[in-house]
Amino acid sequence: MISVANKRTLITGGGGFLGSHLVERLKAMGCHDILAPRRSEHDLTRADAIERLFVDYQPEVLIHLAAVVGGIGANRANPGRFFYENAIMGIQLIEAARRHGVEKTVVLGTICAYPKFTPVPFREADLWDGYPEETNAPYGIAKKALLVQCQSYRDQYGMNAIFLLPVNLYGPRDNFDLETSHVIPALIRKCTEAVKAGRDEIVLWGDGTPTREFLYVEDAAEAIILATEHYDKPEPVNLGSGMEIPIGSLAAKIASLTGFSGRIVWDSTKPNGQPRRCLDVTQAEREFGFRARTPLDAGLRKTVEWFHSQFGVPNEGSRLSIDHKTESRCTAAADA
């Protein structure tokens, strides 16, 4: 066990969505010796930039969050870039952490690394039982390679490196660019813009039937800190809420929250992505006491309110009528 509040901590991607929340939480704990470099300062795809970073800062803890990410469209448009940049950043950072004797290395993977038809709920032992869903495969495989590196370095060098598998994150300060965003911010923006423009329909990809699990960003930050301080084993650990919701039901919730009352049109010529995504989250609770605390409805409300404050939309109170039937605890396919 370590106390991260007393450590010099390097957080890659610390200026991003998850990273900014993690930095805030660490500072609130009394950890003020934090370095969160931006890409303009240190390009983590370059080995010389990483070496300079480690020599100058001499971190005791490395938390690697930086990634090139996006939704289905971005993954389809940039498979080579998503593979190369995610792989090269992680490989070089983990190697630098080993050479510089970093006390604890925490690497964030992705749920996209799981096989396309993984039985629900996804268990960490299922990670190698097939090829990832095709649109996410380059990104998922690049990240999964870093798990192998962490485990190999632990075996050969005794390196204290752990690997975490977060589900889809959402919350304030998410990426709302429609070209690169994930499903929740994309839906919020589409619905909000339709309301402002007076449009009576929005078009969404797929058919609305796939299910997804979501983790509120502040809960994810808490999970990372707990794992950093209390977990020291080679096996990867899922981070999630253990609840899943069909995309169609999610879209209806967000439409209600944003005040969009028009039609939702599904473009079934576009891919659905993985049929179901929902994690077995028992290991995180067992190993380091993490359990998600923010219900989806509350998290969505906070996210919409934040986006509206940035977008210049007055918040007129929640329009969301909570329907717990749309979100359910992960169950095996035969029981779903």
Domain CATH code at residue 323: 3.90.25.10
Query: How much is the mean pLDDT over the chain?
Result: 92
Q: What would the mean pLDDT of 154-183 be, rounded to a whole number?
A: 94
Prediction pTM value: 0.92
pLDDT digit string, tens, across residues 282-317: 999 999 999 999 999 999 999 999 999 987 776 654
Does residue 140 carry a pLDDT above 80?
yes
d(CA 172, CA 303): 5
Tell whether 256 is covered by a domain.
Answer: yes
d(CA 232, CA 104): 9
Same domain, 67 and 91: yes
Same domain, 130 and 206: no
Tell whether 288 is covered by a domain.
Answer: no
Same domain, 14 and 57: yes
Q: DSSP character for 222?
A: H
Tell whether 128 is covered by a domain.
Answer: yes
d(CA 44, CA 23): 19
Tell whether 112 is covered by a domain.
Answer: yes
Same domain, 30 and 138: yes
Tell whether 148 is covered by a domain.
Answer: yes
Same domain, 58 and 201: no
Describe the crossing of helices 79-99 and 47-57 by its angle, rounded to 10 degrees.
40
Among the listed ranges 5-14, 51-60, 80-89, 325-334, which one has the minimum average pLDDT value?
325-334
Q: Which residues are catalytic?
A: 139
Same domain, 222 and 316: no
Q: What CATH number should be reported for the domain holding residue 59?
A: 3.40.50.720
Tell whether 283 is covered by a domain.
Answer: no
Tell whether 136 is covered by a domain.
Answer: yes
Does residue 335 carry a pLDDT above 80?
no
Same domain, 198 and 234: no
Of 266, 213, 271, 207, which Cα lies nearest the Cα of 76?
Answer: 271
Same domain, 208 and 219: no
Ranges assigned E (strand) in 109-256: 161-166, 168-170, 201-205, 211-212, 214-216, 237-239, 243-246
Does residue 216 carry a pLDDT above 60?
yes
Residue 9 phi, psi dihedral angles, 5° rounding = -120, 125
Does residue 183 carry a pLDDT above 80?
yes
CA 305 to chain centre: 21
Angle at 166 between CA 106 and CA 301, to 5 degrees: 125
Tell whether 19 is covered by a domain.
Answer: yes
pLDDT digit string, tens, across residues 217-235: 999 999 999 999 999 999 9
Q: What would the mean pLDDT of 255-264 be, rounded to a whole number?
A: 96
Same domain, 125 and 198: no
pLDDT of residue 315: 62
Domain that holds residue 247: 175-212+243-274+294-335
Same domain, 165 and 116: yes
Does residue 258 carry a pLDDT above 60?
yes
Q: Per-residue confidence at 178, pLDDT binned at 50, 70, 90?
A: confident
Q: What would the mean pLDDT of 73-78 be, rounded to a whole number?
A: 83
Q: What would the mean pLDDT of 325-336 be, rounded to a whole number?
A: 60
Among the listed ranges 83-87, 170-174, 272-276, 311-315, which one has the minimum average pLDDT value?
311-315
Same domain, 199 and 136: no
Same domain, 125 and 103: yes
- Using CA atoms, how far residue 313 sits from 173, 258, 304, in Å, is 16, 10, 10
Does residue 319 carry a pLDDT above 70?
no
CA atoms within 13 A on the CB side of 83: 10
Of 269, 260, 257, 278, which Cα lies nearest the Cα of 204?
Answer: 269
DSSP of 226-286, one letter per residue?
HHHHH---SS-EEES-SEEEEHHHHHHHHHHHHT--SEEEEETTS---SS---B--HHHHH
Number of structural domains (the chain) is: 2
d(CA 10, CA 250): 35
Q: Per-residue confidence at 325, pLDDT binned at 50, 70, 90?
A: low
Q: Per-residue confidence at 108, pLDDT binned at 50, 70, 90?
A: very high
